[in-house]
Amino acid sequence: MQPTIATIASLSAHEGHTVTLRGWLYNLRASGKLLFPIFRDGTGTIQGIVPKAAVSEEVFETLKNLTLESSLTVTGKVRADSRAPSGFELDVENVEVLQRVPEETPFPITLKEHGVDFLMEHRHLWLRTPRQSAILRVRATIMRAAAEFFDTSGFIRTDPPILTPNACEGTSELFEMDYFDDDKAYLTQSGQLYIEATALALGKVYSFGPTFRAEKSKTRRHLTEFWMIEPEVAFLELDGLLDLAENFITHIVTTVLTHHRADLKVIGRDIAKLEAVLGITPSTSSVILSEAKDPCISSEAPQTPARTQADNPIPDGAEGASATRSAFPRLSYDEAHAMLEDAFAKGLIETRHKEGDDFGSPDETYISSQFDRPVMIHRYPSAIKAFYMQPDPLDPTRALCVDVLAPEGYGEIIGGSQRVDSYDLLKSRIEAHNLPLAAFQWYLDLRKYGSVPHSGFGMGIERAVAWICGLDHVRETIPFARTLNRIYP
């Protein structure tokens, strides 16, 4: 009988049995008559044990001389070992090599340290290393959880076009291309304007796709191509939008913590920092996230349950009953500015924030480092925000908008607002921003035919992955990053 074909992630179901794994040789250590190959198969890595006496001469010699990243199938018996990172080791019985990497052209990514440029130049191969693979698995879950949050709360996915005739987020960051004879087209910076149209058709909608910005900035946070998920809701005002963003982030972090503890460990993430976002203290975390009942914890012990959208239904329609609950701190722009003034006076930050200016990276870093949960900053000066943002009726110099800053200095992960719903005001805003009125005629129509208050936000997936995985730079958060100076591979 042929041994079962298994994956490394599923080995707990095969303990004590002989299985065949299909994958690659990740590493090899030899110690006299003992070989310790490490295999990977995309789902994880496992160490094999190969005593010379236990296998045929041919198997031993094949493995001993095998080059890294050669593809193979390996058959062996699964043995539990609490010291092994995966919890198991493989007593190797047989190996078949599919393609042997030639000695003259060894796999370029070795376990020694490489420079970032070298790694990015070999990104197609760097992806195979355990940490990068773990990041991509977490990314996939963040994308799934994000879409699932809206799919299970009555939102309809309506994806906007990628080729557009006009700008959404300011004209300086547009990728322009010829569109047949005399026309120009631009790669979309955000689907927002289009999903405002679908929201007025369907009520609660979202879009999820790649967006593009010809950002000349070379920072840890900027890509020229990134994925954005954007909800847009008719009859939703700013307070309800803040609730929506909070529930959304909570769902994503909960899902990642439920499914990716092992991956987060490989990545080197401090998991307690993520638990703090959910209000979980380390002593209660395992109980909540595994849903196991620990007999040692008394039922009186205060346990903050991991909140899900089921516990906090999304406000459906007009503004939600938001004021009563606020687990993520909410600061107005003015309060955030006052916080920076105070920090400057105490010598905690070097540069003084100028009233009326946007927050720079160091400002955002300082503000977000004051909290262990994402901070929601609302009501920025209209003058520094997008043309489509609704002015605050209590102070029209302020916009009904929000930026969500991730903790630990990760900066903005979400930007959103209530939208201008008056035809006349929107028209004058378009003109004041020197935008071509003709290209926005359809957008103005939305204010002509049954205009209602409506709001939405966008979250950049890569910024969220960088924060949740605790990465220094967004280039590791996407399979093939596009930045100012890289478009290869």
Asked if residue 319 binds ligand 4AD (CB under 6 A), the reply is no
What whole-number distance in Å separates Cα of residue 23 and Cα of residue 56? 21
Output the smallest distance, CB 400 to ligand 4AD, in A.
Answer: 12
Please select the residue that binds ligand 4AD; options are 11, 415, 446, 454, rule is CB under 6 A.
415
3-state secondary structure of 43: coil
Asked if residue 196 binds ligand 4AD (CB under 6 A), the reply is no
β-pairing, 18-31 vs 4-6, is parallel
Asked if residue 415 binds Mg ion (CB under 5 A), the reply is yes
Asked if residue 460 binds ligand 4AD (CB under 6 A), the reply is yes
- Give the other-Cβ count within 10 Å of 374's Cβ: 23
Kindly provide the residue ranges of all beta strands, DSSP E only, lying in 419-486, ordered along the sequence: 454-460
Cβ atoms of 138 and 461 within 8 Å: the answer is no
Sign, CA dihedral 273-277-281-286, equals negative
Which residue is at the shortest CB distance from ligand 4AD? Answer: 415
In order, the DSSP letters of 229-244 are EEEEEET--HHHHHHH
Asked if residue 456 binds Mg ion (CB under 5 A), the reply is no
Distance, C-alpha 277 to centroid of its chain: 15
Output the smallest distance, CB 406 to Mg ion, in A.
Answer: 13
Asked if residue 205 binds ligand 4AD (CB under 6 A), the reply is no
What whole-number distance in Å separates Cα of residue 476 and Cα of residue 472? 9
Please select the residue that binds ligand 4AD; options are 40, 139, 204, 222, rule is CB under 6 A.
222
Output the smallest distance, CB 383 to Mg ion, in A.
Answer: 15
Please select the residue that binds ligand 4AD; options are 48, 203, 374, 456, rule is CB under 6 A.
456
Helix (H) or strand (E) holding 363, with range, is helix 361-369
Asked if residue 460 binds Mg ion (CB under 5 A), the reply is no
> What is the size of the binding site for Mg ion (CB under 5 A)?
1
Alpha helix segments (H runs only) across 96-129: 116-121, 123-126
89 binds, among Mg ion, ligand 4AD, none (CB under 5 to 8 A by kind): none
Output the smallest distance, CB 384 to ligand 4AD, in A.
Answer: 12
Q: Which of 372, 364, 452 is nearest to 414 (CA)?
A: 364
Please select the residue that binds ligand 4AD; options are 213, 378, 379, 447, rule is CB under 6 A.
213
Which residues are at the interface with Mg ion (CB under 5 A)? 415
Chain contacts with ligand 4AD (rule: CB under 6 A): 168-169, 190, 192, 213, 215, 222-223, 226, 228, 230, 412-416, 456-460, 462-463, 474
